[in-house]
Amino acid sequence: MTETKQELRRWQSVPFTKVKIEDDFWRPRLEVLRQVTLPACLDQCERTGRIANFAKAGGLMDGGFEGIYFNDSDVYKVLEGSAYSLRIKRDPNLEQDLDRIIEWIEAAQEDDGYLCTYFTLEAPERKWTDMEKHEMYNGGHLIEAAVAYYEATGKRKLLDVACRLADHYDRLFGPGKRHWVEGHEEIELALVKLYLATGEERYWKLSLWLLEERGHGNGVGEIWNKEEWGPPYCQDDVPVKQIEKVTGHAVRAMYLYTAMADVMLASGQPSYVEALHRVWSSTVGRNMYITGGIGPSRHNEGFTHDFDLPNDTAYCETCAAIAMAFWNHRMNLLFGDAKYADVVEREMYNGALAGISLSGDKFFYVNPLASHGDHHRTEWYDTSCCPTNLVRFLPSVGQYAYAVTEKGIVVNQYVNGEGELPLRGSGEASVRIHQRTNYPWNGRIELEIHPEIADEFSLRLRIPGWCRNYRLSVGGVEIGQDEALTRQGYVVLSRKWEPGQILVLELDMPVETVRSRPEVEANRGHICFQRGPIVYCAEAVDNAALAYESFAVAADQSFYLHHQREFLGGVTTLSCREENGNPITLIPYYAWDNREPGYMQVWIPEAENSTLYTR
């Protein structure tokens, strides 16, 4: 058996609805999202005409199209996030409002299943002429919203709209029909979701066909005509099996790789294994920031060349960080390696979370790692993909906590709360796991295991890549690291588990000093600090006596840790002194720009004569 086939695991994802989050970190954020962020985004979609476009296209209201040709997608993403929120806590008023919007969406759908309000209202003669115009991108987000709303409420109206739209695509495109290379990937992964919801195999097969269209000269439209962008911008330069490195627009690339993994999960065929491994190494090893941010260039909202990672001009779109979580979650399910869950964690606590204010009503589109004080969150954008992406990402973070294997359970993320997990191959048997932890501020995790009946299965616990040492005990008896097998970043315990058995994992969580690889020119002579999964930064409001880039810190500097429950939503700050003796306070990167304006920097000049392990 080849190494490639050995690596293909196809673990089963656990829906976030089976994971009850009860911790002090995520639960307040989910409540802010429900009470503030969702209503704010719905209101913005109303006020900017995004929702009214559907009523106009359906003949329920007079007027022309308002906004940008891809604005339908924002409405769909808010619907999807609202559906996730309803699954956590049912809200009749919200549901009634969503039903109204769905009525308008249904009215906007044309008789043949076509649905894109821009073309219906403004340019019906130009349908399917420019692959950059996001027709299938919009449709992909409709499909994801439809599946989510059906699963939340049992109501089929939007799902039926989505099926008619997908059937329209399937009639026009495919083997022996018209060529199509969607400029902005999204439809490919959405079709797999529709297949999983309906059991209709031709949906994932259409997704596979769309993937295979790339790299064969079939792309036509605005992107392809721009010399400085061209096919690499939308990953149409080589066939997907031949992808060697990450290129082009960051969000589009991540959605493509997510879809490649999804098709493999659906089909069970290892078609894209080598390509996914190559492009993952390219992305994470040579093109990812310490925060998990990707895509350094504003010009193409994406990638340039390896190790080009500037800080103050870093683009790092919030959507790209979210899409990295999507992709790496699928990679973890495919290959069973904890390194992918490590990336998901990095995005959860840094790259993606920085995109939303603590108040829940202001957002970053761009996430630099340094600012002179002129970069701030805003309430909305003309292109508001990032706020609406956060609306659907945050309520569903519970889905990243666990996975199910043929032989047991995987614990990927440490979140105080409870998971109800199936045991594959055991009929209807399930296992309830109750996590008690103050993660990410404390590395102690207590897991109480409750199988329905005493049963033998394996329990895999992720040992994060940042953790150098850990301790493990079961029922108060310490398990030596030589007793528990460690595989692909997991400690594996296989035994007969009794109801109520308690396992304690203690992850050492010192402050870690990190240097970039020497190829990253922007960070030469600089260091940054991380504790557990949290990346830290210096913000002017905490360091008034020090100007931007005017101070240096020794790599072996000792830090004072102070957990402040009422500060910035509850954070652990790091305090030390810089080389001239002035005090410095560092806060989590995700929490910056929530107070008065001023500079911010993640990478800090390194004081001379300090020593450091290079990561």
User: pLDDT category, 348, cuts 50, 70, 90?
Assistant: very high
pLDDT class for 9, splitting at 50, 70, 90? Answer: confident
Q: What is the pLDDT of residue 407?
A: 87
Give the H or E element holding residue 170.
helix 157-172
Whole-number Å distance between alpha carbons of 78 and 84: 10
Q: Give the amino acid at 160.
A: D
Q: How confident is the model at residue 230 (pLDDT cuts 50, 70, 90)?
A: very high
| pLDDT for res 10 | 84
Task: Give pLDDT tens digits for 161-210.
Answer: 999 999 999 999 999 999 999 999 999 999 999 999 999 999 999 999 99
Q: According to the model, what pLDDT value does residue 120 have?
A: 98
pLDDT the model gives residue 24: 94
Contact 593, 540 (CB under 8 A): no
User: b/e per residue, 589-606, with b = 16+ CB within 10 A?
Assistant: bbbbbbeeebbbbbbbbb
Q: Are 418 and 22 in contact (CB under 8 A)?
A: yes
Q: What is the pLDDT of residues 289-307, one digit of tens each?
A: 999 999 999 999 999 999 9
DSSP 398-442: GGGSEEE-SSEEEE-S--SEEEEEE-TTSTT-EEEEEEEE-TTT-
- pLDDT single digits (tens) 83-133: 999 999 999 999 999 999 999 999 999 999 999 999 999 999 999 999 999
C-alpha gyration radius of the chain: 24
For residues 442 and 531, the answer to whether their CB atoms sit within 8 Å is no
46 and 97 Cβ atoms separated by less than 8 Å:
no
pLDDT number for residue 614? 37
How much is the pLDDT for 463?
A: 97
Q: What is the pLDDT of residues 373-408, one digit of tens each?
A: 999 999 999 999 999 999 999 999 999 999 999 889
pLDDT at residue number 6: 43
> Which residues in 479-499 are b (16+ Cβ under 10 Å) and which e?
beeeebeeebbbbbbeeebee
How many whole angstroms separate alpha carbon 211 and alpha carbon 240?
7
Contacts for 346 with CB less than 8 Å, ≥ 6 apart: 291, 292, 533
Asked if residues 306 and 286 have their Cβ atoms less than 8 Å apart, the reply is yes
Tens digits of residue pLDDT in 471-493? 999 999 998 766 666 889 999 99
Helices 318-335 and 250-267 pack at an angle, to 10 degrees, of 20
Residues identified as active-site: 301, 385
| pLDDT over 70, % of the chain | 96
Q: What's 235-302 look like in SS3?
A: CCCCCHHHCCCCCCEHHHHHHHHHHHHHHHHHHCCCCCHHHHHHHHHHHHHHCECCCCCECCECCCCE
Q: Does residue 150 come out as left (phi exceeding 0), alpha (psi in the -120 to 50 range) or beta?
A: alpha
